[in-house]
Each structure stands twice: as structure tokens, then as C-alpha cells.
Structure 1
Amino acid sequence: MLNALSPEIRQYFVITGNYWAFTLTDGALRMLVVLYFHQLGYNPLEIALLFLFYEFFGVVTNLVGGWLGARIGLNRTMHIGLGLQVIALSMLLVPSALLTVPWVMAAQALSGIAKDLNKMSAKSSIKLLVPEDNQSGLYKWVALLTGSKNALKGMGFFIGGALLTLLGFKTAILVMAIGLAIVWLLSLVLLKKEMGKAKNKPKFTQIFSKDPAINYLSAARMFLFGSRDVWFVVALPVFLATQLSWDHWQVGGFLALWIIGYGIVQTVAPKLTGKNSGITPDGKSALIWAAILCVIPAIIAICIQSGFYPNTGLLLGLVIFGGIFALNSSLHSYLIVSYAKADGVSMDVGFYYMANAMGRLIGTVLSGYLFQQSGIEACLWVSSLFIAITALISLRLPQNKSLKSEVH
């Protein structure tokens, strides 16, 4: 059956399969670490610091990884990412006495490098598999890859919470390491060689983008993802476990359903943002959806502070936030792939995801600090502020009001 498909579609399936497998372990690992170390008595800020190197090295990896992908090929950067994640998981199999904060931070640093190499490689590859004049098709394939990845990351959150309850920390990590190692070996055989190599070897000094559209979009992306992680990474799971007295599997299950729903919305984002009417999204689309998203965290914070159905307001509000955030994220993911140059595409995409990782880093640290100091309401107010900044930056993105996609 696979032989009947075009080479481009077969490569898309291999890339997506790699991305899916990696994402399952990434989501499960995050939930395992948060819940396991909360169970050991770590406070929210200490848990946030466990992910500090994960996010910091994500910033570095995206900046350097795009340059590396343009020089050695995206297949190799994807394989390096998968291999590093297997090593990162294996590092957590040491005896409990050696599972210190510095050691876990080092493992998370390696996992952060692995994740962003994998993501940058997957997103950049799509640009090379879709014809340049098929912007409508490009939006569809990017949305499908991004949405399916996030749905599976949500499943990973659930798996992480369930495995911690059923198998314990070490056995859960071992199962994931073995599974991902098998995927890595298959990828070495199936993924096309030389994909994504630039015709002219880019210099390291070219890692910073000179395209104003990419720079503005990257800045908007940084604040957008900071707005999510400022409550999502530490504050929300700890709040659900402490304030609502939820068990591990309940916390993991709720966050899993949230991200799965988020991923589903991303996959249908082209239909919801104008593709069916033949309009290709532009900077104005990003501005409108950011403005809509901005009010949601503020409303949730008001519900909690006023005591007006605070728990219901939080859970329902976060569901609404997730749906609208997914549309914003999907639009950004399409715009960066559209803006990027085909030759050395990973350079532009890597720079953009560097900003994405910087936003996650800022959000992660603030999530632990603000929650510990002022509660989840402070996290939500900062989230709303960050989205407002995203909307302001989006005013500078290119607007092509009359642009129609030629391929539907």
C-alpha cells in the first residue's frame, strides 16, 4: 500500500511517525518529572527549575540547529534528536540516590536539545515536500503535522500520569527508552538522505534572520508561548494536585484531554481561519486571533479572585483558551514555513523556534515563581499581558488582504 504513494507522501509519513513517537515520550516524561518530584516534596519553583535547562538549551538548539540542518541535512538532525532523547531517558534510570536535581536538570537539558532538533527538522522538511505555489496545501500539511503532534503530546501526558501510578518512575522511563530506540533504528533505514541541505553552505554568522517578517513573527511567537507556559508548565498541575486534591492520573488525564483537544483544533485550523473561502491567512489573521485570545485568561483570573465559580471557571476557561490558542499557534506555524526561504529553510525555521523556546523558558520560570508567590491568578494575568504584547507585535506582520490561494 505504501508503495502506491508518491515518494513525498511516504517521506511525510516517516517524518510524522518520528515526530509522533518522540512527542509521546516528551509529553510523558514532562508529566512524570512534574508529578514524581512534587510527590517527593519539591516546591513549585524547584520543579520549574528542573526544566530550566530543557528550555534554555531549546533556545540554543533552535538557533544552532537550523544552521546545522542546512549544512548536514534534516534527516541527520532528526536522527540526532531521536538518539539524544534515548540517552536522556536512560540517564533517569540511575539508582534513586543519584537522581539529584543537577542530574535531572542535565537529563532535561539533553531532552531539550533532542526535542528542538526533532521539531525543527520535521517542520522544515514539510517546506521541501510541498510545491512552492501551493500555499493552501502547505497550510493544510503544516496544520496536520502540528495538530497531530500536540494531540499525541496530550496522550503522552496521560500516559506519563498513568505509568507513574501503575509502574513507578523507573519502569515507566525504561519502557519509553526501549520504544523510542526501536523508532530511531527504523528511521535510520527509512528516511531519505540529504533532505534539507542548502546548496551553498551557510556561515554560522547567518543564523540570525535578516527578514523583518520573520523577526516580528518570532517575537510574537515568543510572547504567545510564554503566555501559555506561564500557567501550564508548573502552576496548573500543582494547583490541580494541591487545591483540587486530584490524583496523578486525574491531573495527567485532564492535561492530556486539553492538549488532545488543542491538537484537534490545530488540524482543522485551515477550515476555521479562511481556507475554505480561498483566503490564505496573513498578519491580520494573527492579530485578530491574538486579540480574541487575550481576554480569556483575564476572565478566568476574575472568576477565581471574585469567587464566582472559581474551579468551574478555571477548567472551562482553560478549555476555551486551548481552542483559541491552538488557532493562533497553527497560524504562526503556517506563516513561518510560508515566509522561510526554500534553500536552507531550517535556518529561518530554527530562528523562529528559538524564539518559541525562549518564550517557553520565560513562561516556565515565571510559572513556578508567580504561583509560589501569588497563586495561579497572577499567572493568568501575566498570560493575558503576554498575549496583548503578541497582538501589538502582530500589527507589523505583512498583510496581503487580496491574497488568494491558487490551489484549494
Structure 2
Amino acid sequence: MDRAVQQYGIVTANYWAFTLTDGALRMLVLLFFHDLGYSPLEIAMLFLFYEFFGIVTNLFGGWLGANLGLKVTMNLGLFLQIVALLMLTVDPSWLTVAYVMFAQALSGIAKDLNKMSAKSSIKSLASESDGALYRWVAILTGSKNALKGVGFFLGAGLLQWVGFEAALQLMAAMLGIAWLFSVLLLDRDIGKASNKSKFAEMFSKSPAINRLSAARFFLFGARDVWFVVALPVYLVSVLDWDHLEVGGFLAAWVVGYGIIQASAPKWTKRHGNPTPNTAKILALALSGVPLFMALALSLQPQAVILIGLALFAVAFALNSAVHSYLIVSFADADGTSKDVGFYYMANAGGRLAGTVLSGYVYQVAGMEACLLFSAGFILLAGLLAGRISPAAKA
């Protein structure tokens, strides 16, 4: 087997295993604490450190990956997720807001170390000239999102079938097996820069990367402002769905979204590799979906949610796939993780803003307001992407 393909397989398997636990943990925490009577804003606060430390992790993790190699950062991410899962298996009386926020902080660090490592490693394994880079990035990202959807269902199902504590123990054991294989099989020097990277270089970005990062901030803020807290709470409290219905539906949505994302090259590469203009056009198309949903939600809530989410899945998946390709393409080949880490720092910032707004805006103004925020954020993402030169390189 070709060495690059073998290493890509190991990286992808690590990312898959981690993603299953990440999706399951989010659904477990969200539904478990909703059952305990937490408000939408209080639930959002449980994820505050998860998103905040994602920002910090991408900043420092990109620098660590360039200097120590991506094997170190990937395996550290897997290990920290195991610790975070086991922290929540304590007696329920220990599960205060502060304690859960700390465990979620570790999980946020783990998630972004793992994601940054996986996506950065592809730059050294795939060629851009023959389209392999775009295909491999799309497959990795799309399959990850599909499995995150499976994780949503897994979390909801395990909560109902075996309970909160046993679900966490099972996931920690599964991830421990993945961590052991990663330690033994992943190349030591994958992604390591040939020259030692200075931390100050994390902020020395080209205009293209700065604008693409800002666009990513608003793109993912637009998704999370209505999807992360508002939507599950709306399904439970307004549409009266049970845990398995919510978990199964969100799982199916994310799986479908991931499949579309993995196949994005077939849809967006008719005239060559995507450009920033591709990102702008796709964003403008996407912005119409939450706007339509906000205007029509009061007429037939369940139908609007189902149809709107299907349309949003297609359009958002294509947007995300193009963005993921552009950052890897624009990144410096020597120490790719520095640029990718900076970019995903912006991604984490958008998720943080979206998560907090999702709880707050839903609590004070309802789902329609969350959807209007989403449409506005997507328009900003498209305008920022449109300001990037098609020939830009870091």
C-alpha cells in the first residue's frame, strides 16, 4: 500500500473515532441537562468553554504541530477527550455547571487539536495539481460530519438505553483503542516544519487567509446560532419530540450533510478547483434558506423545519467543503498547521459566538430571530470571501 494512503487512512480513522464521541457527548450533555430543567441559555453556557478553548487551542496547537509534528497533537487530543469523558462519570451531585464547563473545556481542546492535526496532515500527503488535495479534504471533512451525525444518535440512544454514566464509560473505552493504534502506527514526523516555527508567526497571515478566516467565523456562527441549542430545544419544547426522535433526526441531518460535503468536488469542480468567488456565490445562495424559514415558520412549523433543514444541509455542506479546501490550498506548505490552526481559531470563534447567541436569542426572541441572525451572518461570510483574490497564496 502507498505510504501516503496508509497514513491518510490512519489519520481518517482517528478523526472518525474522535468525532463519534464528540457528537455523542454534545447530545448527551444537551439532553441530560435539559431534562434537569436547565434553560436554553444555561445549556449554552455549558458549551462556552468548549468553544472558547477551541480558539486558544487552534492558536497554540498550530504552532505545536509545526514544531513537534502532528502525531503529538493528534494523540494529545485523543487522550484529553478520554479524560473529559471520564470526568463526567462521577456522582451526579458533582455535576455542577462549573464542573461540567471544565470537562467541556478539555473536550474543546481535544476536538480542535484532533481536527487541526487531521486537516493539516493532508497537505503533506496529497498533491494539489491532480485534484487529490481537494478530494481528500472533502472526504475527510464530509465523512467526519456524517459520523458526527451518527454520534448525535448514539448519544441520544445511549442516554435512553444505558444512562448517562455508562454511555460515557463505553465511549472512553472505544476512544482508548483508537488512541493506542494512533500511538503505534502514525508517522512521527508527519506535518513537522523543516525550520522551527516562531509563535509570532501564527499572526503573520496573508490578506487571503485573514479574510477567509473572517468568512469562516461568520459561516459557522450562522449555523450554530440556530442549530446548536435553539433547534434541539425547539424540537423538544415546541414540537414535543422525544430524545430518540431529536437525536435520530439531527443524526440523519448531519449524516446527509456529511455525504454531500464528501461529494462536493463532483458538484463544484466543473471549471477546475474552487475559488473565493465560488465561496461567495454559494454563501449568497445559502443565506436565502434561513431567511425563508424565518418568514414561514409560523405558518407550518414542522414542515418548514424539515424542508428548510434539508435545503440548508445541501447549501451549507458545499460552502464548508469549499472553505476547507481553500484554507489548505492557501496554507504555507512548510508548517501548514500554523495557517490551518489560525483559520480554525476563527472557526471556533464563530462557533462560540453562535452557541452563546443560540441560547440567548432563542430565550428572549424565539427561533425566528435565530434564523434571521443566521441569514445576516452568511451574507457577511459571502462578502468577505468575495474580497479574496482568486490567485492569492499565503
Q: The TM-score by the shorter chain falls in which range?
A: over 0.9
Give the letter aligned to residue 116 of structure 2. Answer: M
Q: Deviations over 1:3-28 (max 9, x none)?
A: xx101100000000000000000000
Using the TM superposition, give the Cα deviation of residue 131 of structure 1 relative to its aligned residue in structure 2, in angstroms. 2.5
**Does the 8 Å CA contact 1:217/1:336 hold for their aligned counterparts?**
yes
2:164 equivalent in structure 1? 169
Identity rate of aligned residues, in percent? Answer: 61
Q: Deviations over 1:219-275 (max 9, x none)?
A: 00000000000011100000001101111010000000010000000011001012x
Give the letter aligned to residue 168 of structure 1. Answer: G
2:370 equivalent in structure 1? 379
1:37 equivalent in structure 2? 33
**Does the 8 Å CA contact 1:59/1:353 hold for their aligned counterparts?**
yes
**Does the 8 Å CA contact 2:202/2:342 hold for their aligned counterparts?**
yes
2:117 equivalent in structure 1? 121
1:299 equivalent in structure 2? 292
Using the TM superposition, give the Cα deviation of residue 391 of structure 1 relative to its aligned residue in structure 2, in angstroms. 1.1
CA distance in 2, matches of 1:183, 1:264: 23
Match of 2:322 among 322, 331, 335: 331
1:227 equivalent in structure 2? 222
CA distance in 2, matches of 1:132, 1:375: 45
Using the TM superposition, give the Cα deviation of residue 155 of structure 1 relative to its aligned residue in structure 2, in angstroms. 0.2
2:195 equivalent in structure 1? 200
Using the TM superposition, give the Cα deviation of residue 400 of structure 1 relative to its aligned residue in structure 2, in angstroms. 5.2
The answer as to 2:273 corresponding to 1:280 is yes
2:66 equivalent in structure 1? 70
The alignment of Structure 1 onto Structure 2 pairs a total of residues equal to 392
Q: What is the TM-score when the length of structure 1 is the normalising length?
A: 0.95
1:247 equivalent in structure 2? 242
**Does the 8 Å CA contact 2:80/2:110 hold for their aligned counterparts?**
yes
Match of 1:368 among 348, 359, 367: 359
2:81 equivalent in structure 1? 85
**Does the 8 Å CA contact 1:209/1:348 hold for their aligned counterparts?**
no
Q: Deviations over 1:189-225 (max 9, x none)?
A: 0111111111111111111142111111000000000
Q: Which runs of 4+ in 1 moved over 6 A?
A: none
Using the TM superposition, give the Cα deviation of residue 278 of structure 1 relative to its aligned residue in structure 2, in angstroms. 4.8
Q: Tell me, which stretches of 5 or more residues in structure 1 are unaligned?
A: 402-408
Q: What is the TM-score when the length of structure 2 is the normalising length?
A: 0.98
**Does the 8 Å CA contact 2:128/2:134 hold for their aligned counterparts?**
no
Give the letter aligned to residue 299 of structure 1. Answer: F
1:181 equivalent in structure 2? 176
Give the 3-state SS of the residue equivalent to 2:124 in structure 1: helix
CA distance in 1, matches of 2:205, 2:303: 46
Q: Tell me, which stretches of 5 or more residues in structure 2 are unaligned?
A: none
The answer as to 2:135 corresponding to 1:140 is yes
Give the 3-state SS of the residue equivalent to 2:37 in structure 1: coil
CA distance in 2, matches of 1:189, 1:335: 32
CA distance in 2, matches of 1:68, 1:259: 31
2:146 equivalent in structure 1? 151
Give the letter aligned to residue 29 of structure 1. Answer: L
**Does the 8 Å CA contact 2:191/2:336 hold for their aligned counterparts?**
yes
Match of 1:217 among 204, 212, 216: 212
CA distance in 2, matches of 1:70, 1:363: 29
2:342 equivalent in structure 1? 351
**Does the 8 Å CA contact 2:149/2:254 hold for their aligned counterparts?**
yes
**Does the 8 Å CA contact 1:20/1:149 hold for their aligned counterparts?**
yes
